[in-house]
Amino acid sequence: MRLHNTFGGTKDVFEPLEPGLVRMYTCGPTVWNFAHVGNLRAFLFYDLIRRHLRVAGFRVTHVMNLTDIDDRILDQAMHAGTTIEEYIEPYARAFFEDMATLRAQPAEHYPRATEHIPEMVDMISTLIKNENAYIADGDVYFRIASFPAYGALSHLDRAGLKAGARVATDKYEKESVSDFALWKKSQPEDEEIGASWEAPFGRGRPGWHIECSAMSKRYLGETLDIHAGGVDLLFPHHENEIAQSEAANQKPFVRVWLHSEHLFDATGEKMSKSAGGFTTLRDLIGAGHDPLAIRFFLIANAHYRSRLRLSDDALHAAAEQVRRLREFNERVIRTAPAVSDDAGLAQRTAEVRIAYREALDDDLNLPQGVGLVFDHIREANAALDAGRVGPSNKASLLELIDDLDAHLDVIRVEEPGLAEEVERLIAEREEARRARDFDRADRIRDDLRSRGIALEDSRDGVRWRRISPGPVIEAGRS
Ligand SMILES: [Zn+2]
């Protein structure tokens, strides 16, 4: 498989350092609020990488951090009159709920910054000893001038950076304005909210960047195979991570950097918390959108390195695509195979399976893979209509759906409890019909129809299938 490495900007064949095992670090949420849909796009991108690495036969150790200390968390906890731990807990829980709702596979480790202070203190001590960091008025800063490779990832112009340093004379006692904080001196109020730790260079709390360097080292070692994040983290966060890790460890930090593009809202604004207007998963579900459609939209509507625009129309279109995939799957499962196979269909299904895999191997091009499958579904449906689908045709169509669902994970999932509820309502409707209460029987059928479930009378009793949810048009007698 080939991946587009932000470092260097080329698509290269991916091989992990240790054959068969991929060490992957991904920047997780700052749990000061609910994650917005732009964050979720990045988190589901991590899930896509992880899933495809496993499809490609790798074992994966995936680490995703929770930032549970930063300036915003401190501010909010202070205002709420709680400790930082009490303040973040509901948002940490909401993050895991969102991930489960969107069917992201769990990472192997979710380290929290506040639980890894000793590792950060160690790394900062090393940086001070190596003269890559200095203490200024109780704070500790990374000395960018000591790390010549600074800016290589984001193609930053170092000359411009220095010029900027002369212009901005701010309140910090820094040698250069671009030097960034590794450790911030304790303020009196930090103690009360549990945001202050002992360190050889003075009591305080860590800066944001050092946590990823320290925690990735703790769980994955000094050199990572893959480090991923949203493109908004490229500078300065990832640039700073490289500087800290390589200066402290004297080893290459990351072999492949992957960055997912921004999500824009319907008005064309980049979704971000600092801009104020942001949409959460809860907002979308509250507005009636299906989590499976949201998942499909975020991973399959655009390649991860392309910008994506969130809109009701796009989510409705995604829901329709999910419905078509699920309906096709159910149709293939239900089909009693013809006596013999269609050789042409067999060959094209085999070709589509190969092309699908190639699309994913080519820098995770899921949208292209999904497009290939939809084209093939049209042909397969025609074969199903004509009764030309034989036993091995059926088996290979189901394998194609397996291939697709290994990444999408929206086709074979059942909403928990749905089947039981539908069966119960079907029984109620039968009861009503026996009692000649046809109004009630019709009401049950129409309710189900508005939820996207159609009932069909068959010799074996009443069966149900998924359809486009929508208003009931005809109102015939049951
Ligand atoms: Zn990070």
Question: What's the confidence (pLDDT) of residue 125?
Answer: 98
How far, in Å, from the CA of 334 to the mean position of ligand 1?
47
Last residue of a domain, one of 390, 408, 426: 408
How far, in Å, from the CA of 101 to the mean position of ligand 1?
24
> Distance between CA 325 and CA 332 in Å, rounded?
11
Query: Strand pairing of 2-5 and 10-13?
Result: antiparallel
Q: What is the pTM of this model?
A: 0.86
How far, in Å, from the CA of 111 to the mean position of ligand 1?
12
How far, in Å, from the CA of 208 to the mean position of ligand 1?
8
Q: pLDDT tens-digit profile of 427-478?
A: 999 999 999 999 999 999 988 887 778 888 777 778 887 665 544 444 333 3
Question: What's the confidence (pLDDT) of residue 61?
Answer: 98
How far, in Å, from the CA of 212 to the mean position of ligand 1?
5
How far, in Å, from the CA of 459 to the mean position of ligand 1?
59
158 and 221 belong to one structural domain: yes
pLDDT confidence tier of residue 158, bands split at 50, 70 and 90: low
Q: Is residue 477 situated within a structural domain?
A: no
Percent of the chain with pLDDT over 90: 81
Rounded mean pLDDT, 223-243: 96
Rounded mean pLDDT, 92-102: 95
Q: Which domain holds residue 448?
A: 418-466
Query: Which CA distances in Å does 309 have to 261, 266, 284, 315?
Result: 11, 6, 14, 10
Place of tokens 């506040």: 114
Query: Which CA distances in Å does 430 have to 105, 448, 460?
Result: 40, 14, 14
Q: Is residue 338 situated within a structural domain?
A: yes
CATH number at residue 251: 3.40.50.620
How far, in Å, from the CA of 66 to the mean position of ligand 1?
9
Reduce the DSSP state of residue 3 to 3 states and report it. strand
For residue 167, pLDDT over 60 is answered with: no
pLDDT confidence tier of residue 197, bands split at 50, 70 and 90: very high
Rounded mean pLDDT, 365-388: 97
Q: Is residue 274 situated within a structural domain?
A: no
For residue 118, pLDDT over 80 is answered with: yes
Place of tokens 């220095």: 162
How far, in Å, from the CA of 444 to the mean position of ligand 1?
51
Question: What is the per-residue burial (b if ≥16 Cβ within 10 Å, else e) of 282-305?
Answer: eebeeeebbbbbbbbbbbbbbbbb
For residue 15, pLDDT over 80 is answered with: yes
Rounded mean pLDDT, 189-200: 93
Which residues fall within 8 angstroms of residue 468, CB to CB, at 6 or more apart? Answer: 320, 323, 452
Question: How high does pLDDT run on average in the chain?
Answer: 91
Last residue of a domain, one of 211, 226, 260: 260
391 and 373 belong to one structural domain: yes
CATH number at residue 375: 1.10.730.10
Total structural domains within the chain: 3
For residue 160, pLDDT over 60 is answered with: no
381 and 331 belong to one structural domain: yes
How far, in Å, from the CA of 227 to the mean position of ligand 1?
9
204 and 123 belong to one structural domain: yes
Last residue of a domain, one of 386, 408, 430: 408
Q: pLDDT tens-digit profile of 304-319?
A: 999 999 999 999 999 9
420 or 196: which leads in pLDDT = 196
How far, in Å, from the CA of 463 to the mean position of ligand 1?
50
How far, in Å, from the CA of 27 to the mean position of ligand 1?
4
How far, in Å, from the CA of 238 to the mean position of ligand 1?
7
Q: Is residue 271 situated within a structural domain?
A: no
360 and 242 belong to one structural domain: no
Q: Is residue 471 situated within a structural domain?
A: no
> Distance between CA 24 and CA 59 in Å, rounded?
11
13 and 50 belong to one structural domain: yes
Q: Is residue 140 situated within a structural domain?
A: yes
134 forms beta bridges with 141
Question: What's the confidence (pLDDT) of residue 368?
Answer: 98
pLDDT confidence tier of residue 421, bands split at 50, 70 and 90: confident
22 and 106 belong to one structural domain: yes
254 and 335 belong to one structural domain: no
102 and 51 belong to one structural domain: yes
378 and 425 belong to one structural domain: no
pLDDT confidence tier of residue 276, bands split at 50, 70 and 90: low
Percent of the chain with pLDDT over 70: 92
How far, in Å, from the CA of 231 to the mean position of ligand 1?
12
301 and 218 belong to one structural domain: no
35 and 121 belong to one structural domain: yes
How far, in Å, from the CA of 234 to the mean position of ligand 1?
10
Q: pLDDT tens-digit profile of 208-222?
A: 999 999 999 999 999
Place of tokens 């942001």: 278
| Nearest alpha carbon to residue 444 among 471, 426, 462, 421 | 426
How far, in Å, from the CA of 407 to the mean position of ligand 1?
25
How far, in Å, from the CA of 366 to the mean position of ligand 1?
25
How far, in Å, from the CA of 303 to the mean position of ligand 1?
22
How far, in Å, from the CA of 63 to the mean position of ligand 1?
11
Q: DSSP state, 29?
A: -
pLDDT confidence tier of residue 163, bands split at 50, 70 and 90: very low
pLDDT confidence tier of residue 166, bands split at 50, 70 and 90: very low
Query: Which CA distances in Å does 359 have to 45, 53, 277, 366?
Result: 16, 14, 35, 7
Question: What's the confidence (pLDDT) of residue 165?
Answer: 40
How far, in Å, from the CA of 209 to the mean position of ligand 1?
6
Rounded mean pLDDT, 177-187: 93
Q: DSSP state, 234?
A: I
Question: What's the confidence (pLDDT) of residue 267?
Answer: 79
How far, in Å, from the CA of 170 to the mean position of ligand 1?
26
Q: DSSP state, 23?
A: E
Which residues fall within 8 angstroms of residue 302, CB to CB, at 6 or more apart? Answer: 261, 308, 367
- Range in 101-105, 347-351, 421-425 with the lowest mean pLDDT: 421-425
Rounded mean pLDDT, 416-423: 77
For residue 68, pLDDT over 80 is answered with: yes
How far, in Å, from the CA of 92 to the mean position of ligand 1?
17
